[in-house]
Amino acid sequence: MSPDPARRIVELIELLDRYSREYYEQDAPSVSDGVYDQLFRELQALEAQSPESSRSDSPTQRVGGKPVAGFLPVSHSVPMLSLDNAFSDEELLDFDRRARERLGSVEMAPIEYMCEPKLDGIAVAIRYERGVLVQAATRGDGQTGEDITHNVRTVKSIPLRLHSAETIETLEVRGEIFMPKRGFARLNELAESSGEKIFANPRNAAAGSLRQLDPSITAKRPLAFYCYGVGVTEGVTLPETQFGLLQWYKSLGLPVNVEVEAVSGIRACIDYYEQLSRRRSSLDFDIDGIVYKVNSLAEQSYLGFVSRAPRWAIARKFPAEEAVTRLIDVEFQVGRTGAITPVARLEPVSVGGVVVSNATLHNEDEIERLQIKIGDLVIVRRAGDVIPQVARALTQERQGELRSINFPTQCPVCGSPVLREEGEAVQRCSGALSCSAQRKGAIIHFVSRKAMDVEGFGEKLVDQLVEMGRLKDPGGVYSLTHSELAALPRMGSKSAQNLIDAIERSKQTTFPRFLYALGIREVGVTTADRLSKHFGDIDTLLAASTDDLLAVPDIGPIVAKHIRAFLATSANLKVVHNLLDAGLEWPEIVSSETQNAPLAGQTWVVTGKLEHLSREEASELLRSFGANVAGSVSKTTSVLLAGPGAGSKLKKAQALGVEVIDEEEFVARKSNWI
């Protein structure tokens, strides 16, 4: 009797999964590649015969399915924040001092830290439900990433099903996808032998692989993964420490970097940095520094976040890589806010595996400090291993005719006077939206993802429409027609309609997005959110005085000055009113300063799994009643709304004496707030 195909499929999936773990996680394969391939082909044949018995966690699903049409956006329920950087022992000691002060442990035992190599790869969030991989997304801007599930499923070191995780409702694993050095070398050898373009460095190769619409291409790339953090969880109690989290991940079958280490005190962190930096070149993966995290998850929760980074973690960067080249010329670029930035044009040179031909000189003061001239040999470095900049001129090597760098007194784009405000290092074009460079920058910012999010409205199209004289300001976006877009080169009727549809969809927005999209100097995403919560509507904000603006949390005199200057300019007010007339609208915001708001001045935290509301819905309700909703419990927390599965936040609230209520009590109170 032939074996039951369904049962044999299950056996083969489990067997191949074990062999993969031995190969990729334990570096101790128990069978040859030939045996593995034979079993793999048997599984493929059985799944073809019995497709109803196929499973999403089968290793055959890694080879890549059909190409996708594009990358869909994925919102991160728990933001994927950046890390602050330290470039010296002193900055690292300051970070430790601040953490101990906030924890009240200045005179107590040293903090225990987790030390992890900072991989030079692509940050991703991988969501498992009941132990099965269901979604993977890039970090994006921290709030919204791109769905790359089809490609992540092809990465062999990422399990499609976790071990013994069937009871875990949701587990979002965060980590880094990268390309090992050996795999990168093989990839470039194959590309060169076939006459294809080679990659500049492993990070570019990894990023390009994950940006493929065809997963069969990604499946051929030697990508790897290490996990280091956690996002959304439901139905599970996490370990108490960062180190415990990673050890738990290993038990689930997730790959963890063998170099991670828990140490006591900041001095041990410095020792770890020095030891690993000496071995950096021998590692099979690129790293650009070390990440230090407070090991206790409860202490992480207590320390909380600033607007863009956690207070409980920091990245110690390795010194920037440098190279020598010649300064050929300097050009002056005009930014969205009119800032004039000198850009060095260089003889191309490789710096840390990246060919650099342009670098920033920042401003006139920096040029003066460097005492640099056109024709000089210069040291170029990638600051933080990313942004090329000119570090210094080799003045002792000067020979031949050199030219001084003269900062323009008139805008190189529109000819308007260049002004420098007292106390500022930056010089700016005074032409505002009459300057086509500023106009382009303002419109590109306006349609960008974190602003109005007009999909398909790229920089080239903005350049085209501004140069034609069709777009005079951001408001002109909403008067574009299908016929004029379709008539543009390389556009076509279908693309034009897609863009018109995207423009129409963007009219349904939020007040914070609208404020951010206006491009007011110093008003980023966080400040726009605070302004919207404080004032509630555009009319109240337009009427706000400088004193009113200074009453908004974390807004100081400089930011208030820029907001008032923007709102006092008739051209800017005309743009605002034109946008409102075009039909832009958003849900009403109940200001946290409104006297009738029942929860004004209170800070709430939501945790655990609620029965009748999602945490996001509960948070929105709380905000509508005037509350500030925070992500972590602290001494300033008014109430913790806790559902089943609440973990460290509940313990922290109880330890601090914070009021804790369940969903039933929340619903009962809600009826009194309406």
> Could you report the per-residue pLDDT of 580-636, keeping only the tens digit for each?
999 999 887 654 444 467 887 787 888 888 877 777 678 778 877 877 776 667 777
Task: State the pLDDT at residue 309.
Answer: 83
- Helix ranges (H only) for 220-291 are 242-252, 266-279
Whole-angstrom distance, CA of residue 318 vs CA of residue 95: 17
At residue 6 the predicted structure's pLDDT band, cuts being 50, 70 and 90, is: confident
pLDDT in tens, 150-184: 999 999 999 999 999 999 999 999 999 999 999 99
pLDDT in tens, 202-230: 888 898 899 888 888 898 999 999 999 99
Whole-angstrom distance, CA of residue 317 vs CA of residue 289: 4
Of 241 and 85, more confident = 241
Q: CA geometry: angle at 17 spanning 32 and 173, to 5°? A: 130
Nearest-Å Rg of the Cα atoms of the chain is 28
Element (H, E) at 231: strand 224-234
Whole-angstrom distance, CA of residue 101 vs CA of residue 498: 54
User: Running DSSP on this structure, what letter comes out for residue 476?
Assistant: G
pTM, two decimal places: 0.57
Whole-angstrom distance, CA of residue 611 vs CA of residue 326: 65
Whole-angstrom distance, CA of residue 491 vs CA of residue 394: 49
Task: State the pLDDT at residue 590.
Answer: 53
Name the residue with tokens 């391939």: 37
Domains of the chain: 5-58 (1.10.287.610), 92-317 (3.30.470.30), 322-397 (2.40.50.140), 432-505 (1.10.150.20), 511-581 (1.10.150.20), 603-673 (3.40.50.10190)
Residues 6+ apart with CB under 8 A from 348: 325, 355, 356, 357
Cβ(364)–Cβ(313) under 8 Å?
A: no
Structure tokens at 116: 């992890």
Q: CA geometry: angle at 343 spanning 339 and 345, to 5°? A: 165
Burial class (CB in 10 A: 0-12, 13-18, 19+), 157: middle
Kindly list the catalytic residues: 118
CA dihedral 472, 474, 475, 478 (to 10 degrees): 110
Pick from 68-72, 116-120, 647-651: least confident: 68-72
Phi, psi of 454 (to 5 degrees): -90, 100
Whether pLDDT at 190 is above 50: yes
